[in-house]
Structure 1
Amino acid sequence: MATRAPRGGLFGRVKPLDAILATAEKKSLHRSLGALQLTLFGVGAIIGTGIFVLTSVGAQKAGPGTLISFIIAGAVCVVAALCYAEISSMIPVAGSAYTYSYTAQGEFLAWTVGWALLLEYAVGASAVSVGWSNYFIDTVMERSWGIDFPDWLSSGPVVLGGKAGGLLNLPALAIALVVTGLLVIGTSESAKVNAILVAIKVTALTVFCALTLPVVQAANFEPFAPAGMFGGFGSGVGVVGAAATMFFAYVGFDAVSTAAEETKNPQRNVPIGLIGSLAICTVFYMLVTAGAVGAIGGQPVMGANGAPLPAGEALSLQCATPQYVDALVCSREPLAHVLHTIGYGTIGNMLGYAAFIALPSVILILLFGQTRIFFVMARDGLLPEALSRVHPKWKTPHVVTIITGLIVAVAAAFFPVGALADVANAGTLYAFLMVAIAVWQLRRTEPNRKRAFRVPALPLVALLTIGGCLFLFFNLPLEAMLVLPLWTIIGFGIYFLYGRRHSHLGRGLVEVHEGEAHDLAPHVPGINDPDHRH
């Protein structure tokens, strides 16, 4: 029976947890992933563009202080991971922060979270596609094969590093479409490919550390923070400004929770996948950053005002001069560049090939997470039902996967990696903040619900997560901060024009287990409300 929106106003639609779990069980995805696969999924999503490409971007913002930037960003992710571990083991369904907010904060705020996650995953996948393109062009095409790849097909219209702006980034466009095709084929097959790619990435970074750490020179860390700790509101520079950007290097562990509905024994395996993947990646980031900066230096290119130059034409021109042509901050494939500089050219090429081969796994995981958010929002009626169709043969949400892949490919073709990373971070930080609030709320509203993992000192951890997310958000470049509210306004329009009217919860279409229907129905807003309108 269809009803108008339940009483309680804009924030009145709170979906009961039992209804969320029942809906997922009735129209579910195939459960095929274990703890090891989830951990590899997390490592595959986390280790990627952040360390293979953005190392030079971070060094341009903070110099050697990038090492501290990674620690700051990682610390925020640790407390956020604890919140994710509890709530994902309690609500083991697809949808990640969107689903969690639906049962804790209501439909409207859940929509804003889901809409922000779409921004995070789609823009993030585009950024990684651009990072892959950098290694493909610089290491594979030009350095190894001696082919001078046309500038107009190697980057979008925006100037990036030492390359002039072009028409579009053709390799980035192509890899996004290839990965989309792989995801359409099936989750299990994708996970097997991802496991191989993760092994390649871990091996490559291990070799990098073994070669660079022995030649680290203390002098390369001076001055340690040439732009200071804080670059100023909206500047995006300094150690903290770099932390806001390098946060992208950790984004991906939350993608593990989006796979909860396709996980065997999710109450146990999801927390293992979340915390395990984050711990592995944190160790690598600290060692790789120290090796890169310590081996060849990592001082930024400064402008006339004494501040690091932002990405753009001025930086591109400076990077083309003899003084900076070999600088870490001017390289589009920094780790391979470091090895070439210290005399390991062949191994540097091999590392470039490793990034070229392995970075698609990051695109795969981010696209995986994005399509699952779309899938669940459509399943709830907030987006057209056609998006929640599951392919009869491959058991994957093929419609939304294809649509998402096309959007990601177009964004990758026209925008630079640094700008894309900052925009993705804005959406991610909002989602993390809302998860911390949801965990706290559910401890109060669902105190007896089974939790395979409980956050110790939850009030402190939740407050640290909320504060850390706000801290990093307000240290992003101003343009990246502005994207989130503008994107949210667009989302408001879609919600009020379509989602709110078609919402299953608002229409009283809530799935429950037959044995629970009698007990649950009185608590579902708008279903048994004697004053609701038809």
Structure 2
Amino acid sequence: MFLDRIKPLDAILATAQKKSLHRSLGAVQLTLFGIGCIIGTGIFVLTSAGAQKAGPGLMLAFVIAGAVCIVAALCYAEIAAMIPVAGSAYTYSYATMGEFLAWTVGWALVLEYAIAASAVSVGWSGYFTGTILNEFFGFSLPAWLSAGPLALGGAEGGLINLPALVIALLVTWLLMIGTTESARVNAVLVAIKITALTAFIGLTLTSAYFDPDKFNPFLPAGIFGGFGSGIGAVGAAATIFFAYVGFDAVSTAAEETKNPQRNVPIGLVGSLLICTIFYILVAAGAVGTIGGQPIMGPNGIPFPAGSEELARQCAMPEYAGQLVCSNEALAHVLRQIGFSGVGNMLGIAAFLALPSVILILLFGQTRIFFVMARDGLLPEKLAAVHPKWKTPYIVTAITGVVVAIAAAFLPVGALADIANAGTLYAFFMVAIAVMLLRSREPNRERPFRVPGLIIVGPLTIAGCLFLFFNLPFDAMIVLPVWTAIGAVFYFAYGRGRSHLGRGIVEVVDDVAGHETMLPIDEPKN
């Protein structure tokens, strides 16, 4: 059987119990922490793609995506508080469903983080070329250097997104030499993002340009666009789910929270609700001022976001000012209604904040890769730590190059959809893991227990499947193809070299640090 290898939970918890973290976070602190983690790339970058899929129904899409996130977050909180060690959903799956399924989760997370970092790099490029170069220096990069061949809103003739390529490689280099973020700088960037969005909401909703008629029709592509179409409100929800990624960081703070059974759900649900309201108001301000109707094809169906057909339409003068054609949507809206200065400030906020998101995503990806390599499932050379920089430089370099290439040639909407496929699969598996652990180990200590797991667990599974099957077919098919490639690698390499298979349990609790190694009486084959 290939589902026989389950890492002993006692070994994982032995590592977790070595931590002695002070419980200091209250409900308000946790909520604010969540808002800072969640608000970021998606709202700055994907508003255009979401509007092309759903029109004004983008507002409903934010509600749908937020609802799925809330139930997923509760499941994530229970297992993260119970097993607070490195590896995320990969480690949780290893302890409940066995090595092979854990491998598929880790393999999907590698894809998710890398592609998400590419999407953020493309989003940063839009603000760099639109705000920094065009608005401040009056300089425009030629189309062949500023957009990939299928970049959203790009003119025909796009060849490579050079700024996206450069920022991805620069952040990779910083990670390799050991540069880390300053908590104070990060806090300032979070404050800038929230201030920028608040100003955007205030200026657009009170603008003389705001017209309720621009919301009609509210759902030009309907609620459901059909299996694999990626359009309609649900198709947009599957894409802008990316705007909520980051809430799992709140879940992992459960063991540092006072009264976690009360404060964790308040922090999770509260931050997600506040962000959802933020997002709805931003969408309302953008659509209500300059309109957000999608550009329709000859069959009455919106052109796919990020497609060559849409890029061709956006190159025409009559569509150039449309929300769905902008690479820097929010700054573009403010410029269109006469607030160029504030729009430029918002563009600068995105320009400054987004590289830190790329860094976090690349760090997360290399952390998962590192843990898998230390478990023997990937070549252990990948986990080598540089003698001077003290970082896993080989896997960081490989990841950075892949991220940079994807950012250079693919559109942001397509990248976000692919990243979401991996995320939804991971959350799906976490919900299953929580329910399995409740059944098998009901007496294990749980700092936080999901209220009504018998309802919340299945809702999470159904919600993740619901959004997954409303992604564009091209994005949907990437996950099974990527999983098949991973399965070949697992059976050809990982299974035979797995530490667990050779009778050693190794639990990694830090990229460069602690590990617990326990012998197993009889190695499993």
**Most deviating of 281-290 and 240-249:** 281-290
Aligned to 2:338: 343
Q: How does 1:456-467 map to 2 (within 5 A)?
A: 456-467=451-462
Give the conservation status (yes or no) of the 8 Å contact 1:22–1:511.
no
Give the conservation status (yes or no) of the 8 Å contact 1:94–1:259.
no
Partner of residue 163 from structure 1, selected from 155, 160, 179: 155
Give the conservation status (yes or no) of the 8 Å contact 2:93–2:102.
yes
Aligned to 1:316: 311
Partner of residue 142 from structure 1, selected from 103, 114, 134: 134
The one-character-per-residue Cα deviations of 1:139-184 (angstroms, maximum 9, x if unpaired) are 1111221102121111222243142342321111111122223334
Aligned to 1:369: 364
Aligned to 1:290: 284
- Aligned in 2, Cα 1:463/1:205: closer, same or farther, shift over 3 Å? same
Partner of residue 116 from structure 2, selected from 121, 124, 131: 124
Q: Distance in 2 between matches of 1:180 and 1:504?
A: 29
- Aligned in 2, Cα 1:328/1:528: closer, same or farther, shift over 3 Å? same
- Of all paired residues, the percent bearing the same amino acid is 70
Deviation at 1:283, TM superposition (A): 3.1
**Within the alignment, does 1:305 sit opposite 2:305 as a pair?**
no
Deviation at 1:386, TM superposition (A): 2.9
Give the conservation status (yes or no) of the 8 Å contact 2:378–2:494.
yes
Give the letter aligned to residue 330 of structure 1: C
Deviation at 1:293, TM superposition (A): 1.2
Give the conservation status (yes or no) of the 8 Å contact 2:114–2:403.
yes
- Aligned in 2, Cα 1:281/1:469: closer, same or farther, shift over 3 Å? same
Aligned to 1:100: 92
Give the conservation status (yes or no) of the 8 Å contact 1:14–1:105.
yes
The one-character-per-residue Cα deviations of 1:487-529 (angstroms, maximum 9, x if unpaired) are 00110011111111111111111259xxxxxxx99xx9x9334
**Within the alignment, does 1:404 sit opposite 2:399 as a pair?**
yes
Partner of residue 527 from structure 1, selected from 515, 520, 523: 520
Q: Distance in 2 between matches of 1:141 and 1:390?
A: 38
Deviation at 1:270, TM superposition (A): 8.4
Deviation at 1:390, TM superposition (A): 4.5
Partner of residue 254 from structure 1, selected from 248, 258, 271: 248
Give the letter aligned to residue 229 of structure 1: I
Give the letter aligned to residue 358 of structure 1: A
CA RMSD of aligned residues (A): 3.1
Deviation at 1:23, TM superposition (A): 5.6
Deviation at 1:432, TM superposition (A): 0.7
Q: Distance in 2 between matches of 1:103 and 1:373?
A: 16
Aligned to 2:439: 444
Deviation at 1:370, TM superposition (A): 1.0
- Aligned in 2, Cα 1:356/1:389: closer, same or farther, shift over 3 Å? same
Give the conservation status (yes or no) of the 8 Å contact 2:81–2:253.
no
Aligned to 2:350: 355
**Within the alignment, does 1:88 sit opposite 2:83 as a pair?**
no
**Within the alignment, does 1:243 sit opposite 2:237 as a pair?**
yes
TM-score norm. by structure 1 comes to 0.88
Q: Distance in 1 between matches of 2:120 and 2:32?
A: 18
Q: SS where residue 301 of structure 2 aligns?
A: coil
Deviation at 1:365, TM superposition (A): 1.9
Partner of residue 434 from structure 1, selected from 394, 415, 429: 429
Q: How does 1:61-76 map to 2 (within 5 A)?
A: 61-76=53-68
- Aligned in 2, Cα 1:203/1:182: closer, same or farther, shift over 3 Å? farther
Q: Distance in 2 between matches of 1:195 and 1:39?
A: 14
Q: Distance in 1 between matches of 2:157 and 2:426?
A: 33
Q: Distance in 2 between matches of 1:461 and 1:18?
A: 26
Give the letter aligned to residue 232 of structure 1: G
Partner of residue 494 from structure 2, selected from 499, 502, 513: 499
Q: Distance in 1 between matches of 2:252 and 2:501?
A: 24
Partner of residue 8 from structure 2, selected from 9, 16, 21: 16
Give the letter aligned to residue 20 of structure 1: I
Give the conservation status (yes or no) of the 8 Å contact 2:127–2:351.
yes
Q: How does 1:255-270 map to 2 (within 5 A)?
A: none
Q: Distance in 1 between matches of 2:315 and 2:91?
A: 48
Gapped runs of 5+ residues in structure 2?
Answer: 508-515
The one-character-per-residue Cα deviations of 1:53-77 (angstroms, maximum 9, x if unpaired) are 2101111111000000011011101
Q: For this pair of structures, how many residues does the alignment match? A: 511
Aligned to 1:207: 199
- Aligned in 2, Cα 1:408/1:64: closer, same or farther, shift over 3 Å? same
The one-character-per-residue Cα deviations of 1:426-466 (angstroms, maximum 9, x if unpaired) are 11111110000000111111212221111100011111110
Give the conservation status (yes or no) of the 8 Å contact 1:70–1:285.
yes
Aligned to 2:512: none
Gapped runs of 5+ residues in structure 1?
Answer: 1-8, 513-519
Give the conservation status (yes or no) of the 8 Å contact 1:35–1:270.
no
The one-character-per-residue Cα deviations of 1:88-124 (angstroms, maximum 9, x if unpaired) are 0000001111111010111110000111111111001
